[in-house]
Amino acid sequence: MYEFIILAQLMHGPAHGYLIAKIINDMIGPFARISPGRLYPLLAKLEQNGLIAALTEDQRGQQGDRQMHIYQITEAGQMRFQILMRDTSSNPGEYQRLFAHKVTAFRFISPAERLRLIEHYSNYCQAHIFHLQGEMEDLARDAAVTNRQELVYHRLNDYSLKSIFNVMQHSIDQWQLELRWANSLREREKEPGD
């Protein structure tokens, strides 16, 4: 996922590693931060693979006379970005987070590609909603059968069952919010002049 995020950021223009880290950390939140110890090896790997290039900026007289690198995406990196942007099958468990990063780079793909990604994400959200609703129905049915059979050691008490349903409903609500967001993105894409 970080490979895509870095390439997407560099599609906007060259940047120092510090700025790349700041943008990534601002977007992924306070607990899933990327450290310099993780970022710079990734940048080195991307550079080694020819996806980005590091330009040296002389910083004499500043911060201990060191050289800072400005990273820019290469033509090969732009091609890799396009492949990763269109990919909807890798990272299925992280696709919710990944899709948000893809939205920030929508301007670099065609409107038809944006709509295809939005449609895929809508289906992804709906699949989660349908799965959770089905699991809630199965759990309710299983609990009713267990209660009728009076198998005390398997029986879920009302409090436990309500707590489980509460958490599952919370997940459904979150996916419905994601679905509404995807629908708003679709509507924005269909507006004239975009």
pLDDT for 169 equals 96
Average of per-residue pLDDT across 51-60: 78
Phi first, then psi, for residue 31 (nearest 5°) are: -110, -10
Torsion angles phi and psi, residue 65, rounded to 5: 50, 45
Compute the radius of gyration of the chain from its Cα atoms.
Answer: 23
The model's pLDDT over 69-99, given as tens digits with 9 standing for 90+, comes to 899 999 999 999 999 999 999 888 889 989 9
Cα–chain-centroid distance for residue 46?
20
Model confidence at 133, in pLDDT bands (50, 70, 90)?
very high
Tokens standing for 1? Answer: 């996922």
- In the numeric block, the tokens 């449609």 are attached to 119
Average pLDDT of the chain to the nearest whole number: 87
pTM: 0.82
Q: Is the pLDDT score of 105 beyond 80?
A: yes
CATH-assigned architecture of domain 2-91? Orthogonal Bundle (1.10)
Region class of 144: left (phi > 0), else alpha (psi between -120 and 50), else beta: alpha
Question: Quick count: other Cβ atoms within 10 Å of Cβ 61?
Answer: 7
User: Is-contact 99 121, C-beta < 8 A?
Assistant: yes
CA 164 to chain centre: 26
**Residues 130-136: contacts with CB under 8 Å, at least 24 apart:** 132/168, 132/171, 132/172, 132/175, 133/172, 135/168, 136/165, 136/168, 136/169
- Contacts of residue 43, defined as CB under 8 A and 6 or more positions apart, other chains included, come to 6, 17, 20, 52, 54, 69, 71
Q: 148-177, pLDDT tens digit by residue? A: 555 444 455 666 788 899 999 999 999 999
**What pLDDT is attached to residue 153?**
40
Per-residue model confidence (pLDDT) at position 190: 86
Distance CA 40, CA 37 (A): 6
Among candidates 91, 117, 90, 119, which has minimal Cα distance to 106? 117
The position carrying tokens 């089905």 is: 134
